[in-house]
Structure 1
């Protein structure tokens, strides 16, 4: 019986294969793995699904209220007899339904097909008489009344009530999405430090890959949520027949999605970095308060100063409030074509700086447990 033997070369290759350490995963592979883990965990979270549902309901409510405040109602139908049709012709608030005589108009009125009858009357100064069923048709009377011409020195491009609803909608969506996902990232970072899981993770991947994966994973979810809300809002406007509003709101919604996608990356990095400075869940609020204020301030400013062009202009260029301020200005027609581009460039540059600073704080604080890491030490390393 023959016994297999190994040549010196085979033994060397075998020993080399045994002693060589496993290949370190590439940065891209590590980031994609961590990002996928973040996305999977959030999609299984009831809190995420509930918050998304609440935002969807808020958007639907805004669309419905917008249709009530800014929507255009159909013209009122009135039966007209003979020469009375001349008084109704050209009136956008009324739709004339010609009838042969007053009796035919009365039948339509009783059947509910028209709201009033307009008949010629030689004794009346206007030459017509309006006939109602059981009460005075004030809408028809008002539409037929002679009104003086009205001029406005500074006509508003958008109805103030509608402008408030749009501003409130942008503000609440930005506030809820940024705060929800930012808090989720902060809690995830502290939980990994508290359970010492981060030590195992850092033995396999770098701190930069871990932070990048968390930011990208949650940014994808936040962007997907905002995109779904934008599609829902546009579809709701189309279904409710608000074509005029859709024409003005469509471009502002697109810009809001673009600004939010970049702005959230900045906020996510800051939430993760500040959370890495503590080791207990109870301390998350104290370190993330400055970042939370950066999310809350734009919401309150746009709600209380939606009709102040000066405040909105400042907001549209400040990186932390630009995702809300600039889309509102675009909707109101206050922004020139080049202003969103300039504001976006400022936001991208600020995001790059914030991510670099956040990555440094995150890397220098992640393995330090116990007391809170001072900001100066976290930056110094």
Structure 2
């Protein structure tokens, strides 16, 4: 779990016990700002209610995002406004999922976000730390450990401001840059353009996938749990805690001992199966429209406006017929496996 890695890394660094090979940022570019951030992050992680989505649950929540994004494009409303007001289950929440597996699922189902990709784009583990303890804003910090790399502190966080009535306004978001991470990037030899690029990518990824934790929170309070099954799972075992006490690792002793693992139930599994079948029908139907069945074209002349004449020899054109595929393939309609949402009215709250 990325959650456990962060608890161990930040606790070790603040106690002066981390190794340079595991904690490059702390040893290469130490600063007071970095220390303050890690003190905040460790405290928040220890207090957080922790959720871990398995790869199917994350993919299921993401199909909800696809459906909402389509409706948002049709109505002109923000995706978060269509989802509605969703409250966090605790003052501080941690939601984690495997971004690599999510990228594979997006690519295989031809999600709009992966439409122009030639291979799955996700990599590593991703976790959202949502801190709702401030009256003026919600702090959103996204941590991403890419595959085969160390944990690196985030280059920025998002602060979602509140309206005078206390509601979150997703049209009023401040990007809070990490000065310590910018300093680390500069010392590593990054140019201004490279740093801006890192910040932009992190900001966009944070904002887009923020829908996944909120979809989870919405399903957790629905009467049927939205097709998901939460199961309490041990995070730090009794042996882990005993060893931590023995070696003075108070950061592990003070962390949450368990988390909720989120899996999909029969209802969600049926939806995913139906969606996969529909996409396959659509793919076959598209293949059928890709051109005529393979046939011979007789030798002929091709005349151009310039007066040029070209002799085209006899050749074959078209695609070889697919065995047992009818000339017209009919599958489930696109709205059969869709999510239903109440009609949302535009509002000044965003």
Bigger radius of gyration among the two: 1
Report the TM-score when normalising by structure 1. 0.23
Report the TM-score when normalising by structure 2. 0.25
